[in-house]
Amino acid sequence: MNLRVPLSVAATLFVILFAFTQPALASTEAPATASETRAANAQDQINTLHKELTTLVTLQKQVSGDDKLALQLQMFQKNEQLRDLIANGVKSGSIDTPFLIEQIRQQQTYANDGVKYLTQRAAELSEKLNNAKNEDKFALLAEYEESRKYLDSMYEETSQNIQWLKKLDALKPQEEQNLTKVITQRAEQLAANVEYLRQQLSADDAQLKVAPEAEKASIQLSKLMSQRRMDITTSSLKVMIELADNVGIPTAEYKRLFFEVTGNVTQDLLSSDVLLSIVKTWSSKLWDWFVENAPQHIFQLIVFLIILLIARQIAKLTRKVVKRAVVSKNLKFSQLMQEFFISMSGKAVWFIGILIALSQIGLNLTPILTGFGIAGVIVGFALQDTLSNFAAGMMLLIYRPFDVGDFVAAGGVEGKVSHMSLVNTTIKTFDNQIIIVPNSKIWGDVIKNVTHERVRRVDMVFGVSYSDSIPHVEEVLNDIVNNHPSVLRAPEPMIKLHVLNSSSVDFIVRPWVKTDDYWDVYWDITREVKVRFDKEGISIPFPQQDVHLHMQSGQSLPPAKDV
């Protein structure tokens, strides 16, 4: 028995027992052998405990307060000692069998009466719990829990008494059948209570989701009480499962229920019967759920897919409308900004469509949106560099220093802008390399846009010899520039003598061309200058120096040496 049980309950049970039982008298005949002496001593100890228990029962009626509690504790401990002596006697066979059987019968009577008394008391406490005020329920629940624990111990003692009698060949067939019936009924009742409490907890959870704040406290209290009663009931069910196993009662369903409620994995779950019961129950519940909820969920899934399809079409339509709007000449948006608005408009519509579709299948969007907000703060701290690139990308879109297709020198890279996102820019070099540059590096550095303007000036320098005619050179250069079809007439080309270098006379040649024709003009004029200069006899000097040696009279050059 459990020492934590209420001693007042134990005292009541002892009064019931010893009100009609008297201690058995030891034999007056002197023992002849050592074994008989040990048996007589054990019998004397049992008789002594009976007398002490009878005395304690009488005394506890005459006192109160702490003294009464102390006597009740002594009575409880004495009976524990008495059962230990009986157990040792059954195991060793050292005690006279008729005497031992008589003691077990007394314990059996005591346990049966205890079961009746505690069953009635538990029912009374349960009724009080249902009708009690909230402030009184916890005290009653503690008393109810202790009474149930003591009731479980009474069932354990009853089962142990039957096992003792069976070992001593004193068990009547009807007694074992009665025990099997009692345990079965008790297990069935506890299983039914567990199912009821599980439904009650589910109902409380459902009410908490929809109840206003003013009613949640009462529902939470009810749930707490139901959970406490569930713990008490499952503890009793565990005891009955063990007793049922001892007498050969099938317990697969009870073990399955105990596992589903508590989640405790024990060795018993490895039994094929228990596993089969779990599989059958879950498959049956799954089928019932499918039959009951499948039509509704299938309809919700169809609505979900329809909303996604509609959102997709609306997103496409939105991109088309936005595309027509941003290409307007009045807005003067760059290609990059146009692509940004077109892409973001479609994504925004698609995102809203997904949220609406999720809401139609019963998903609560409030926690999701809250989670997005919290996640945004966390990601913001974790991805500071990325956010810096994002901000730089927004500045590039607003101030438009370059556009798709422009040739730029930015972030230490030269090439043609192929693509730009909010975090990086893709540049393709002339040798067909793809370089992805973070926007923060571009925005924080010098940006040179080579092809931003429609018209560019080609700067070239040509050197001629000091012996060549200046007017002739100017005439040839003007003829070459003016005859090129891609050179613009306005602004006019500039051809001037620029500087007198140490080895050449340099002319600057600066024609204006369309940006797309820049390199064609540059290469064509350079080639034509070489061809015409050769034809006209104009020399293109290379760097040279005249070295003059002045020798004093009487000196000669040193003789050459063979090397």
Full DSSP string of 499-547: EE-SS-EEEEEE-EEEGGGHHHHHHHHHHHHHHHHHHHT----------
Mean pLDDT for the stretch of residues 391-396: 79
Angle at 370 between CA 365 and CA 372, to 5 degrees: 95
- Which one-letter amino acid corresponds to residue 321? V
Per-residue model confidence as pLDDT tens digits over 8-18: 555 555 555 55
Mean pLDDT for the stretch of residues 398-415: 83
Say if CB 47 and CB 24 are below 8 A apart. Answer: yes
Full DSSP string of 229-274: HHHHHHHHHHHHHHHHHHHT---HHHHHHHHHHH----GGGGSHHH
Backbone angles phi, psi at 229, to 5 degrees: -65, -35
Say if CB 226 and CB 204 are below 8 A apart. Answer: yes
pLDDT value of position 372: 65
Q: Is 292 exposed, middle or buried (0-12, 13-18, 19+ CB in 10 A)?
A: exposed
pLDDT value of position 528: 94
- Total residue count of the chain as it appears in this document: 563
Burial of 369-392, coded b for 16+ CB within 10 Å and e otherwise, reads: eeeeeeeeeeeeeeeeebebbeeb
Higher pLDDT pick, 325 / 240: 240
* pLDDT-derived band at 486, boundaries 50, 70, 90: very high
Per-residue model confidence as pLDDT tens digits over 277-297: 656 666 666 666 666 667 777
pLDDT value of position 2: 42
Per-residue model confidence as pLDDT tens digits over 302-342: 888 888 888 888 888 888 888 887 777 666 666 666 777 77
pLDDT value of position 508: 94
Q: Crossing angle, helix 7-18 and helix 97-131, to 10 degrees?
A: 130
- The rounded distance, in Å, linking the Cα atoms of 561 and 563 is 6
Lowest mean pLDDT among 25-34, 209-218, 289-298: 25-34
Say if CB 476 and CB 532 are below 8 A apart. Answer: yes
Whole-number CA gyration radius for the chain: 52
| Half-sphere exposure in the Cβ direction for 60 (13 Å, CA) | 26
pLDDT value of position 354: 81
Joined tokens for residue 202: 């589910």
pLDDT value of position 473: 93
Mean pLDDT for the stretch of residues 71-84: 79
Say if CB 422 and CB 340 are below 8 A apart. Answer: yes
- The rounded distance, in Å, linking the Cα atoms of 525 and 511 is 10
- The rounded distance, in Å, linking the Cα atoms of 113 and 494 is 126
- The rounded distance, in Å, linking the Cα atoms of 124 and 140 is 11
Instruction: State the pTM of this model.
Output: 0.48
- The rounded distance, in Å, linking the Cα atoms of 411 and 443 is 8
Distance of CA 106 to the CA centre of its chain: 60
With a cut of 70, say whether residue 510 has pLDDT above it.
yes
Omega before residue 471 within 30° of 0, cis? no
pLDDT value of position 477: 94
> What are the CB-based long-range contacts (under 8 Å, 24+) for 405-410?
405/335, 405/451, 406/449, 406/450, 406/451, 406/452, 407/449, 407/450, 407/451, 408/447, 408/448, 408/449, 408/450, 408/451, 409/447, 409/448, 409/450, 410/437, 410/442, 410/445, 410/446, 410/447, 410/448
- The rounded distance, in Å, linking the Cα atoms of 273 and 227 is 28
In the chain, the domains with their CATH numbers are 182-270 (no CATH), 286-382 (1.10.287), 400-449 (2.30.30.60), 455-536 (3.30.70.100)
- The rounded distance, in Å, linking the Cα atoms of 448 and 383 is 29
Q: Which residues neighbour 503 within 8 Å (Cβ) at sequence distance 6 or greater? A: 463, 541, 542, 543, 544
The DSSP bridge pattern shows strands 447-449 and 434-438 to be unpaired
pLDDT value of position 495: 92
